[in-house]
Structure 1
Amino acid sequence: MILNFRESLDRAEVLMKHKEQLHDIWGVGGGRKPVRFLCKEMITILKEFLASGDEKEASRCLRELEVPHFNHEFVYQAGVMAVEGMHERSVRLLATLLLHLTQSGELTQTAIEKGFDRFYANLSDLSIDVPPAYALAEWWTKASRDSGFLPKHIADRLPRK
C-alpha cells in the first residue's frame, strides 16, 4: 500500500498523539541502545548482584535498561556466569535471582526459554575455556529447576557430552 504525502502526515500525527501510551508500553530509548552496551550492562548487573545479593537493586537495574524483549540475554549471561564461577554460592544466588525476577514479572517464560536454549547451544564453546562446563551446566540446570523457575521441558534440553 502506497500512501501519499498527506496520508503519511495524518498517520504520523495520530501516532504522535499516542506517544505517551507507546512509551508506557515499550519504554523510552531502551531499544536504541547498542547490543554490546546492553550485554555489558547485564553482566555488570549480575556481577554486582553476586557481590551484594540485593535482588531488588538487580531488578531495578534490569528494568532501567528498558529492553524486556532482550532479557533472554540476562538469563544466558547468568548461566555463563554460573558455569564460569564454578562456585555453589554463585549458582544458588543466580538461581534465586532468576526466580525473583520471574515471580516479579521482569522475566517471562519466553526469556527463560530463549536464554537457556542459547546457553545450551553455546556449551561446547564454553567447554573450551571451562573444561567441566557440561557437568557445571547440569548443576546450574538442576539448581534452576529446583528453585522453581525452570520448567522440566526446558531442563530436559540440556545437552550431554
Structure 2
Amino acid sequence: HFHHEFVYEAIVMVLESKGEKTLKMVLQLLRSLSASSVITVDQIRRGYERVYMDIAEINIDVPRAYFILEQYVDKSFSMGIIDVKLRDLCPCRGRKRFVSEGDGGVVKLESY
C-alpha cells in the first residue's frame, strides 16, 4: 500500500501551489481520509517524513518551501492530522526574525 506516496505528493502539491486554496483543500482531504481510516496514522507519518527529508531539494525549485511547509505542518497539527512529535520534526530553516513578528523586540539567544 502506497498511501504514504499519496500523502507525500499532496504535500508537495501544496508547496508548489500559489495561495491558500490548495493548502486548505489538501488539509481537509487528509483529515477526512485519516478520520475514515482510508489512510493510517503510520502512512501519514511516512508521507510527512519523506517531505521533511526532501525539503532542501524541493526548496531549490520552490524558494518559499520551508516557510509554506512550516505553516502547513502547524495547521495539520491544529486540525489533529498529525501529532506533536511529527510537528516538532519539521525542519525549519533558520532565518532572521524581525521585530514586527510579535516578540516585542526582545533579543532571544539562539539555542542549538
Structure 1 and Structure 2 fold alike (TM over 0.5): yes
Match of residue 55, structure 2, among 117, 120, 123? 123
CA distance in 1, matches of 2:70, 2:57: 16
Match of residue 143, structure 1, among 69, 75, 95? 75
CA distance in 2, matches of 1:151, 1:81: 22
Higher percent of residues as helix:
1
Residue equivalent to 2:32: 100
CA distance in 2, matches of 1:160, 1:118: 15
- How far did 1:86 drift? 3.1
Secondary structure in structure 2 of the residue aligned to 1:107: coil
Deviations 1:83-137 (A, max 9, x none): 1003211111100100000011101011011000001100000000001110010
CA distance in 2, matches of 1:111, 1:86: 26
Deviations 1:63-99 (A, max 9, x none): xxxxxx2100011011101110032111111001000
Residue equivalent to 2:103: none
Task: Give the alignment's TM-score, normalised by structure 2.
Answer: 0.80
* Structure 1: tracts of 5 or more residues without a match: 1-68
Residue equivalent to 1:155: 87
CA distance in 1, matches of 2:84, 2:18: 23
How many residue pairs get aligned? The number is: 93
Secondary structure in structure 2 of the residue aligned to 1:122: helix
Secondary structure in structure 1 of the residue aligned to 2:45: helix
Q: Assess if the C-alpha contact under 8 Å between 1:75 and 1:115 holds in 2.
A: yes
Counterparts of residues 1-150 of structure 1 (less than 5 Å): 69-150=1-82
CA distance in 2, matches of 1:85, 1:138: 15
* Structure 2: tracts of 5 or more residues without a match: 94-112
- How far did 1:143 drift? 1.7
| Shift >6 Å, 4+ stretches | none
Task: Give the alignment's TM-score, normalised by structure 1.
Answer: 0.56
- How far did 1:152 drift? 1.0
